A and B are shown apart, each in its own frame.
Chain A
Amino acid sequence: MNELFNEITLFSVVSLGAIGGVAAIILFMVAQKFRVIEDPRIDIVEGLLPGANCGGCGLAGCRALAEAIVKDESLEGFNCPPGGSDVMQQIAEAMGWEAGEQTPMVAVLRCNGTREFAPPKVQYDSAMTCTFAHSLFSGEGGCPFGCLGCGDCVRACDFDAMYMDPESGLPVILDEKCVACGACVKACPRDIIEMRKKGKKNRRIFVSCINREKGGVARKNCKVACIGCGRCVKECRFEAITMENNLAYIDYNKCTLCRKCAPVCPTNAIHELNFPVRKKKPADTDKQEKNV
């Protein structure tokens, strides 16, 4: 009995071992035949990237960015918004290249048509998606350029950097979480959200309106619309503000954050973020609070 048992054991061990050996050889040959030669640096670069696969670089995920970087043998033209210049610096060090300086960006909402400033004239009662609302009508407040408040941008954000403020009906962008991946910019059917330079000490000045209608028409729907009066353009000594189609635009590359333009705006359409409180005009403080 014992002998028989041993025989069976031996037989199975030998036969299974033989099968295993053959299989191993086949696998080895197949692996050799179909081996994909991949640059090992891709793995290194990928390891340094944040791994959020946000698509903020414009490529399909972190792996794709790593492949593209290694293929180009340079960091030029590549940008990882969530990682920022730190990550790019690390990749440059690891690869032995020089990293270019990156300007940190952040999303800003160029509409201040809250329920208070642009009171709703009608009630929207359909699918809560801006894309549909945009195709259906001009908006509850009547402004055909303003925020529709259905939150497509918030749903598009993968970093929890946005939320809808139920009181104002507008989305709020959290600077510290925003990685400037641009998902919200793409999601917004009205192109209200813009990527702007984060600015020194996180300070920014921008026109919080994109209404290109004539002043009177724009003003009828919204108290804080840019009416295209051009006073800010005259006030700016750095030629940073341009006026086109009844709408002022501040070029963030030229703007020196001197704060001269904001007080002259008759409709308070120019926003200052993260500046110390102006002593003379207390009205600005609550505006800041709303946007921080």
Chain B
Amino acid sequence: MHQLKTFVIGGVHPPEKKLAEKQPIVRLDPPKTVSILLSQHLGAPAVPVVAKGDKVLAGQIIARGESFISANIHSSVSGTVAKVDGVPDTSGYRKQAIIINVEGDEWAEGVDRDEAFVRDCQMSPEEIVSRVKDCGVVGLGGATFPSHVKLKVPKGKKAEYLIINGVECEPCLTADHRLMLEKGNEIMAGISIQMKALGVGRAIIGIENNKPDAINNLSEIAREYEGIEVQPLKVKYPQGAEKQLIKAVVGREVPSGKLPIEVGCVVHNVGTAFAVYEAVQKNKPLVERVVTVSGDSVRKPSNFMVRIGTPVSELIEAAGGLPEDTSKVVNGGPMMGKALNDISVPVTKGTSGILAFPGSESRRPAEQNCIRCARCLTVCPMGLEPYLLSALAEKQRFEDCEMERIMDCMECGSCLYICPSGKPLLDYIRVGKNRVGIMIRERSH
């Protein structure tokens, strides 16, 4: 067994609550209608290539990502396009989506739906990248950054390590955990495909040691692959953050405002590795993903393989519905996820979990004076001063916010988690980041 590693600055230990870690992934049938948002990834929204009344097959492209940072979107079901219209997304604002009425479950030609494991990949690195791009694969860890962009090493830079994120440091979420247990071979094949595309010789899978079964399973499989190893990590939030993971695994610090490639690393999620495998070996676009449905209010915590565009309410229904006292439904993990104001919103490529909590757990503590206990400073993984940033942003001193490196904040929520005074630190930091971002953009024009 390797020595346990972790990142150095800050970090918290929220209750793990991995309620669904023993639940195998269950494939859900397609719902009656799906709403597939055109903007499910970081970057420009995709442009629809189908219109009302068109018949589509599952796996068929329905919207094309045309700018550099964008991703293709495929139909997750077969049926008829009902309309292209605005539907509320996770924040309640209407975003353009393609709404499809489901008819049967027919798949587009060329998609290999055979479950048989195909290990070796004959494609060239360029072919791999273009296949990943065609299949609309994005980072499934939550940031949904288009994967094909990350599989191309920029000119003048060299990738030394491919780091695979199997940390899943968010409480409650178990989607990646189950994937590592059930699809270990596919993930490994996906990793070796990614290594080939990037031209790197070493890949390290970082897994927190609260998932010993996943560590064992992948270590076992990794023996058959050259250059891939598993690195067990100490449990600490937010280890799954890109910069923290790199620090933990290879001990390098990505400089402020720079990308991981600056220190020779590329980070992909295990879910992404699986999606890359399916795209390259099976020609299957990203039309479904594993979603954990969990939380104290969920009757049957489960892990589902669902089609993109399925309403969240269907997932909750499949997990036994919600009790009366549910007062918060979160899209994503409890530390960084978004609270939903409507459970009819569709699952997107970035939905890693749907969590429901009763009132007692979801309320914020009452706000009091800051007692300057410095806990927020101690836990901030970026070494910032959340109390100061929050106060500066509240007083609209955005220039000072920038000086104090507010843009380094990755909104992990450790400060607000730990604050004994219940100060909405992160809320104001977000306001500040927003305004500083606008300031920086204006300056560069």
A interface, CB within 8 angstroms of B: 121-123, 125-127, 129, 131-132, 135-139, 142, 144, 213, 217
Contacts and interface: CB of A to CB of B under 8 A. Distances in A.
Contacts of A123: 327
B341 A137 contact: yes
Interface in B377-402: 394
Contacts of A144: 92-94
A138 B427 CA distance: 16
Contacts of B91: 136-138
Contacts of B256: none
Contacts of B428: 127, 129, 132
B88 interface: yes
Interface string B399-437: 000000000000000000000000010011011001000
Contacts of B339: 137
B361 to A, nearest CB: 12
Nearest to A143: B92
B434 to A, nearest CB: 6
B364 interface: yes
B363 interface: yes
B341 A121 contact: yes
A8 B94 CA distance: 89
A111 B394 CA distance: 25
B170 to A, nearest CB: 19
Contacts of B394: 129
27 contacts: A121-B341, A122-B342, A125-B362, A125-B364, A126-B364, A127-B428, A127-B431, A129-B431, A131-B431, A132-B424, A132-B430, A135-B434, A136-B91, A137-B91, A137-B93, A137-B339, A137-B341, A138-B88, A138-B91, A138-B92, A138-B93, A138-B341, A139-B92, A142-B341, A142-B342, A144-B94, A217-B94
Given A122-B341, A144-B93, A127 B427 contact: yes
A30 to B, nearest CB: 34
Contacts of B92: 137-139, 142, 144
A126 B413 CA distance: 13
A233 to B, nearest CB: 24
B147 to A, nearest CB: 27
Given A126-B364, A138-B92, A132 B427 contact: yes
Contacts of B86: 213
A92 to B, nearest CB: 35
Nearest to A221: B92
Interface string B80-110: 0000001010011110000000000000000
Given A138-B92, A144-B94, A129 B341 contact: no
Given A142-B341, A144-B94, A135 B430 contact: yes
A122 B90 CA distance: 13
Interface residues of B, number: 21
A211 B86 CA distance: 15
Given A125-B362, A138-B92, A142-B342, 20 more contacts: A121-B341, A122-B341, A123-B327, A125-B363, A126-B427, A127-B428, A127-B431, A129-B394, A129-B427, A129-B431, A132-B430, A136-B91, A136-B338, A137-B92, A137-B93, A137-B339, A138-B93, A142-B92, A142-B341, A213-B94
User: What secondary structure prevails in chain A residues at the interface with B?
Assistant: loop
A113 to B, nearest CB: 14
Nearest to A144: B93
A58 B431 CA distance: 24
B382 to A, nearest CB: 20
A135 B431 contact: yes
Contacts of B434: 131, 135
B441 to A, nearest CB: 16
A229 B427 CA distance: 39
A73 B327 CA distance: 63
B409 to A, nearest CB: 14
A149 to B, nearest CB: 15
Contacts of B364: 125-126
Interface in B311-331: 327
Contacts of B363: 125
Contacts of B424: 126-127, 132
Closest 4 interchain pairs by CB? A138-B92, A127-B427, A127-B424, A122-B341
A132 B341 contact: no
Contacts of B362: 125
Interface in B321-362: 327, 338-339, 341-342, 362
A132 B424 CA distance: 11
Contacts of A127: 424, 427-428, 431
Contacts of B93: 137-138, 144
A123 B394 CA distance: 22
A247 to B, nearest CB: 15
Contacts of A121: 341-342
Nearest to A128: B424
Contacts of A126: 364, 424, 427
B94 A132 contact: no
B435 to A, nearest CB: 8
B431 A132 contact: yes
A107 B434 CA distance: 27
B88 to A, nearest CB: 7
B357 to A, nearest CB: 12
Contacts of A135: 430-431, 434
A138 B327 CA distance: 18
A137 B91 CA distance: 4
Nearest to A123: B327
Contacts of A139: 92
